[in-house]
């Protein structure tokens, strides 16, 4: 199996070097380059193809949001945003430009690797702490989420999923059985072509599949 080609874009030498070390010792990954800003990342990806780019948001010359837009438009690689606790508004902007994942920098190396693998396989992933911030800001659908294709009950189910409730908690809240909740979620995932409930929650909150 070919290793996942990863490009690292961050203006911190410490972060770039640390992530390169973490990935270099694992045969599942190949670091194709390290960039100090979005412009360098774009130029590197145009010359040396990558599968996933780990993209910081706040960088000089070209920030991660603009770089994410270019990566998406030119299909240069799937973008996973690297973020801190206080820039969730910028993360939302990056989502609109096509970012596939969102990772807080202070997590364990294995968490980082697993998110890279998931994005490479086509999933859209969101760090739990960032997801919680979306939830804390209020459960409301993104403007790109089409509510008209759902019944009122389905919307209730989706909102509950986006709130982080389990099937049991949803059943208790809506006074229906867990089996009914499971059936509703399965039908909704099928309708949207999604693989699991986390993707549904992300789609509801960000408008992106």
Cα 196 vs. chain centroid, distance in angstroms?
Answer: 14
d(CA 108, CA 110): 5
Instruction: Give domain limits for the chain.
Output: 4-135, 139-206
Which pTM value belongs to this model?
0.67
Looking at residue 2, what DSSP letter applies?
Answer: P
Predicted pLDDT of residue 204: 82
Predicted pLDDT of residue 134: 57
> Is the CB of residue 102 less than 8 Å from the CB of residue 80?
yes
List of the chain residues with pLDDT < 70:
85-88, 127-143, 208-209
Predicted pLDDT of residue 24: 94
Predicted pLDDT of residue 82: 85
**Which residues touch 90 (CB under 8 Å, ≥6 apart)?**
57, 58, 64, 65, 83
Predicted pLDDT of residue 195: 81
Q: What are the tokens at 31?
A: 């670091």
Q: Which fold has domain 139-206?
A: Arc Repressor Mutant, subunit A (1.10.10)
Predicted pLDDT of residue 128: 63
Domain 4-135: CATH class, spelled out = alpha beta
């Amino acid at each position: 199996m070919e290793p996942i080609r990863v490009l690292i874009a961050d203006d911190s030498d410490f972060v770039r070097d640390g992530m390169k070390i973490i990935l270099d010792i694992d045969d599942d990954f190949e670091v194709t380059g390290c960039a100090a800003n979005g412009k360098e990342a774009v130029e590197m990806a145009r010359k040396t193809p990558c599968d996933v780019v780990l993209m910081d948001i706040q960088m000089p010359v070209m920030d991660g949001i603009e770089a994410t837009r270019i990566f998406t438009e030119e299909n240069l690689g799937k973008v996973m945003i690297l973020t801190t606790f206080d820039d969730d508004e910028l993360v939302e902007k990056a989502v609109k430009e096509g970012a596939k994942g969102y990772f807080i920098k202070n997590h364990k190396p294995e968490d980082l690797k697993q998110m890279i693998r998931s994005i490479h396989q086509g999933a859209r992933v969101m760090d739990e702490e960032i997801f919680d911030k979306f939830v804390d800001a209020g459960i409301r659908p993104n403007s790109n989420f089409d509510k008209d294709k759902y019944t009122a009950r389905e919307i209730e189910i989706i909102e509950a999923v986006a709130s982080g409730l389990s099937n049991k908690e949803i059943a208790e809240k809506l006074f229906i059985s867990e089996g009914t909740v499971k059936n509703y979620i399965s039908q909704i995932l099928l309708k949207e072509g999604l693989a699991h409930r986390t993707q549904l929650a992300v789609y509801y909150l960000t408008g992106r599949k």
